[in-house]
Structure 1
Amino acid sequence: DDPYIIENVTVNDGISIGDSSVYFVIRNSSVNGGISIRDSSVYFVIRNCSVYEGGYYGKGIKLNNVTNSMIFNNTAYNNYYGIYLTDSNNNTLLDNTAYNNNYGIYLTDSNNNTLLENTAYNNYNGIYVAYGSTNMISGNTANDNKFLGIQLYYSYNNTIRDNTVNFNDYTAGIFLDDSYNNTVRDNTVNFNANTGIFLDDSYNNTIELNNVKNNYGDGISLWESNNNDILRNEANDNDRYGIYLFGYMSICNN
């Protein structure tokens, strides 16, 4: 069936779609107040849109209980959340840009999503995943955020790989907080104002083959984090320690 299409429009009060049973496309549009999709399992696409001025706690693009969407090449700015997923699984976020938000990209209670080649900059937090599993975060750029680049919070079995996470302030480039069984691999994490990769109360994670240099704290720091594998990383020219450990873990070939 042909999709329902919204395109080439300027909307001043947002777009909201709920409980849809038809395939639809939103593209090439400017949306003040954001786009909200809820309770949908039908494939849909949001593409080439600008979403902005979502307001206090407002979302540029919000998916609530949504599966099988493609969010592609959108720009989200001046919102509380640039792109926000809750209770949403099996979605793809590709080549989006989020800036001047509190959170650039935010996932909560959402699993098996793919975040690929997105850019999150000049937010308070770049990419944030809470209570999520089996998400793939790959090829993204999370630079120049005021708090941190990429964070997992109470999350497990996620993969963070091939990302560029530089020049973030305050906490860390990549931060795992109370998270386990995640893989952090092949990332470039340089010139962050504190630690490059930081694990706090996190266990059974693999931190492997990362380039972690020129950070103003430690390169890789683990606090009260047990049974993590730190393998074949380059952690050079950091202002404090290359690798700082507090707890029990194994380290090989760094």
Structure 2
Amino acid sequence: MNKLIILLMTMLIFAFGSGIGAAEEFYVNSTDSIQVAVNNAGSGDVIIIRPGTYTENIRITEHNLVIRSESGKPEDTIIRANPNTSAFYVAAINTTISGFKIKSGETGIYLTGCSGCTVTNNDLSDNKLGISLSNSNHNEISENQVNSNMLYGIQLVSSEGNKILNNSISLNNRGINHLTSNKSTISGNNVSNNRDYGMWISYSKNNVISGNTANETSRGIHLDSASDNEVSENIVAFNSVSGFYECQACRRNLVYNNYANNFLNANINTRDTTWNKPKTQGRNIVGGPYIGGNFWAKPDGTGHSQIEPDADGDGIIDSIYIDDSGNIKDYLPLAPFSSPQKPVLPVANFSVNITSGYAPLSVLFTDRSENAVSWSWDFENDGKIDFTDKNSIHTYTIPGNYTAKLTVSNKNGMDSKTLQIIAEEFKVLPVADFSASVMSGYAPLSVQFTD
């Protein structure tokens, strides 16, 4: 009896201690309000939205919230904004918004004064602006579908150090509208088939624009009063007005290892741009063995890289490319080797030794990713990085359903994978037992029962 009491007291103490400061999960049904759940949530909580259509505008000012769809499929969890408002208005740090189809808003997702936020795996369409960041630093916008918005797919204004990665952005007036914003990484995006501009980069500096596809728009990549930017490994083709553009006020941009195939590949109004790097061994964008300048093609086959010789077969055209204006001088234009080579992107993958069991549950996470150079483990999918080595062991001390997330990256982009882990509550069931002083005898029979 005493042992049972001690065991029960120990379990109560463990449960009480484990619950202190624990994040809560709020589930929202289609008949409920997401805003009510947000208002009731505290820092670190997770709000899980079940499939359905929600017509409301969600304002987020509490820090460290995760708001995600239960299914992870944007097509079945729809946020329809009230007219002339933002579907999600975020003025907080470390907010994650994931897994929604967002439509009909002035802005689908609007971040102001934010940092450390993640917007991923959403479908934003039929808004005036898809995603907009204002005075927001060090956020990540990745793997979203941002199509058919009236003005811009993704906009940054007066922001710094943000990552715009692996988004599909088409059928907007401008794919990416990037104003007075610095130190952005814009990589792995498809900004094709927009009406006026694939990218408009204006009054911005120290940005890295790499590995994007900007095809079949009026203007592909347009730099306006932009300085000290690196533009590389992009495919810019079949744009009706120009592939690249720079105004007279552009300074010290580096443009190399791009594939250009437009009737007007570049409308350049400055001579302060560098068009090649020193010849360096490495696979270039058209499969050649050296990194140098750019591949200059034209749809009719008369581009400099298409008609000029490469006598020594090193993948570098023997003659300098100088455009008609004299503003472009590419000393190492690329020769054809193969079709344009898209940058090698990482592929996230991992395995575990167990996916369910009683808490405390220790799980061994083993990385199986490809082409990765960095790893970020978020064992509870709460937007917080828990570990940055390739492999890890994590213990789930509190019972619950968890989503473990691995994000891997290399210089060309990033990728993520998730897996559900279930830590079950260990329940001590009662076991009935007793003894009797005597089992039989003559009536009247007195029996003493002992539990």
Q: Which has the larger radius of gyration?
A: 2
How many matched pairs?
244
CA displacement, residues 50-102 of structure 1 (integer Å, 9 cap, x when unaligned)? 11011xxx101110111111111101111111011111111111110111111
Query: What SS class does the counterpart of residue 98 from structure 1 fall into?
Result: strand
In structure 2, distance between residues paired with 1:113 and 1:249? 30
Q: CA deviation at 1:11?
A: 1.8
Aligned-partner Cα distance in 2 for 1:122–1:39: 28
The counterpart of 1:94, out of the listed 111, 120, 142, is 142
Q: What residue number does 1:143 align with?
A: 192
Conservation of the 8 A alpha-carbon contact between 1:112 and 1:134 = yes
User: Which residue pairs with 1:14 in the alignment?
Assistant: 57
CA distance in 2, matches of 1:158, 1:191: 24
Per the alignment, residue 227 of structure 1 pairs with 272
Once residues 299 and 205 of structure 2 are traced to their aligned partners in structure 1, the CA distance between those partners, rounded to angstroms, is 28
Which of 123, 141, 155 in structure 1 is aligned with 2:204?
155
TM-score (norm. length: structure 1)? 0.89
The Cα of 1:250 is off from its aligned counterpart by 5.2
Offset of residue 24 of structure 1: 2.8
2:174 maps to what in 1?
Answer: 125
- 1:237 corresponds to 2:298: yes
Give the structure, 1 or 2, with the largest relative contact order (CA under 8 Å, sep 6 or more). 1
State the AA in 1 paired with 2:272.
N
SS in 1 for 2:56: coil
2:63 and 2:95 in contact (8 A); partners too: no
Alignment RMSD (CA, Å): 2.0
Q: Which moved more, 1:235-244 or 1:72-81?
A: 235-244
1:221–1:244 Cα contact (<8 Å) kept: no
**Distance in 2 (alpha carbons) for counterparts of 1:248 and 1:167:** 24
Residue 331 (structure 2) aligns with: 252
C-alpha displacement of 1:144: 0.6
- Shift of the alpha carbon at 1:30? 1.2
- Residue 182 of structure 1 is matched in structure 2 by 229
Q: 2 CA distance for matches of 1:69 and 1:106?
A: 15
Is 1:44 the counterpart of 2:44? The answer is no
Return the alpha-carbon distance in structure 2 between the equivalents of residues 44 and 22 of structure 1.
Answer: 5
Higher strand share: 1
1:235 deviates by: 1.2
Q: Is residue 114 of structure 1 aligned with residue 166 of structure 2? A: no
Aligned residues with identical type, % of pairs: 26
Q: Give the whole-Å Cα distance in 2 for the aligned partners of 1:206 and 1:245.
A: 20
Do 1:220 and 1:235's aligned partners in 2 also have CA atoms closer than 8 Å? Answer: no
Q: In structure 2, what residue type is equivalent to 1:220?
A: A
Structure 2 counterpart of 1:251, one-letter code:
D
Task: Note if contact 1:37-1:66 (Cα within 8 Å) is conserved in structure 2.
Answer: no
